[in-house]
Structure 1
């Protein structure tokens, strides 16, 4: 199993581009944030498409990421299909145990069953760019660029694989972004039009998950990995050079909900 997160320099720049960004902004909210109405600004594109695309482009520039014009349709489609939290399917798991200290939950031990994931691995100039471009390509697959030619549905969390050196001090810019196929598509996963998106079957996996809030960048992820390693009773039971950052909410929010996952070694 593999997993996700964000990047950045820890400043209060616009949030990293992810699928969650779209669900946080209705067309009415986007219209209110500008100087004019949607009708005044839409000249060559659909009104909602235009404003949503501009939002993505503005947010991406803060991270040296370009959002092309052809993203307008999938951006609009994902927005219209995910107007409420009830539309989002959470990846199922079994809670095996948890550890607390003074009433505070430190981490949970969970079992995730075998399942199909759509994965893409990229290596851009920065860790953050790899994640942004990976999310956008996965988004195209979710929205229409698949063998069914239809919207597949949103699942949470979206995860990426985080790879480090043995000392947990340096993070690789090789990033695998992964999306869990909704239950209705698990038996027969639609095939991606993008040849670099691979449908993989991940085996049953036991993980240790610790929640944290705030931005996900290289500094915060490294800090979370080291903090989790200190909390585990037997960190040697886990894989120690590959981790998962799972994102549940819009990275533009100051109090983003995330988890760091340690993977238990197969027996």
Structure 2
């Protein structure tokens, strides 16, 4: 039995962290009453810092909700476990692929090795002309460093081990439990922010999730455009 918690170790490799204290689906009253409760225990400068932080979170969530911040980032190459699925909607396909990869890193391999879970889970998607996603995904998970030289062979034949080169991406980040619609929305925002620059691939992009499903708040998701 795979312990999903112990196999998921979040990698905070990002140079840019966009605050996501306000999460979709959580009543606004929670975000009002919680700061009030906690600030009663703060005094002086600490209380003022807390109040300013709450104000900035409010402004970010409600006044600047249509803005998008982004950065350019480079990731080293290496060996990845990959699963390719076609004919299924994004949300269904990614759930199936991630489960396969979790089983692989949890010990379903020729060495019976529990490798640990790297982050993010990176999914290659292929947009239609209207921005919606084709029913085709390729989900990638980096092999942990101690297994890079000799990755265990998956017992599931649908999982392939690939050597991938270093990449440079333009990345934007958002919170919440990300679905297809969220990735499509932020991909459109990133496209708008970048303008007509022909320096990034437009026939595919990457959807990334960093957190296990049992983490309800402070979640991190990213859209990456690959630089040519």
State whether TM-score is above 0.5.
yes
The residue that corresponds to 1:186 in the other structure is 148
Aligned partner (choices 84, 88, 95) of residue 9 of structure 2 = 88
The residue that corresponds to 1:78 in the other structure is 4
The answer to whether structure 1 residue 244 and structure 2 residue 224 are counterparts is no
Q: CA RMSD in A?
A: 2.6
For the residues of structure 1 that align with 2:172 and 2:151, how far apart are their CA atoms? Answer: 30
Aligned partner (choices 174, 179, 183) of residue 221 of structure 1 = 183
Please tell me whether the aligned partners of residues 146 and 193 of structure 1 are also in contact (alpha carbons under 8 angstroms). yes
The answer to whether structure 1 residue 143 and structure 2 residue 64 are counterparts is no
Tell me the alpha carbon deviations over residues 66-93 of structure 1, each in whole angstroms, 9 at most, x when there is no partner: xxxxxxx12xx333x34xxxx7262868
TM-score in terms of structure 1 length: 0.60
Matched residues, number: 179
* 1:254 positional shift: 5.8
Unaligned runs of 5+ in 1: 1-72, 98-102
For the residues of structure 2 that align with 1:88 and 1:250, how far apart are their CA atoms? Answer: 9
The residue that corresponds to 2:127 in the other structure is 164
For the residues of structure 1 that align with 2:203 and 2:12, how far apart are their CA atoms? Answer: 24
Question: 4+ runs of 1 displaced by more than 4 Å?
Answer: none
* 1:123 positional shift: 2.4
C-alpha distance 224-212 of structure 1, shift in aligned 2 (>3 A): same
The residue that corresponds to 1:261 in the other structure is 224
Alignment of 1:99-178 (within 5 A): 106-168=69-131, 170-178=132-140
C-alpha distance 91-225 of structure 1, shift in aligned 2 (>3 A): same
Please tell me whether the aligned partners of residues 113 and 152 of structure 2 are also in contact (alpha carbons under 8 angstroms). no
For the residues of structure 2 that align with 1:160 and 1:131, how far apart are their CA atoms? Answer: 8
- The structure with the larger Rg is 2
Q: SS at 1:225's partner residue?
A: helix
Tell me the alpha carbon deviations over residues 117-166 of structure 1, each in whole angstroms, 9 at most, x when there is no partner: 00001125422111111111111111111121120111111111111024
Q: SS at 2:205's partner residue?
A: strand
For the residues of structure 1 that align with 2:219 and 2:13, how far apart are their CA atoms? Answer: 21
The residue that corresponds to 2:57 in the other structure is none
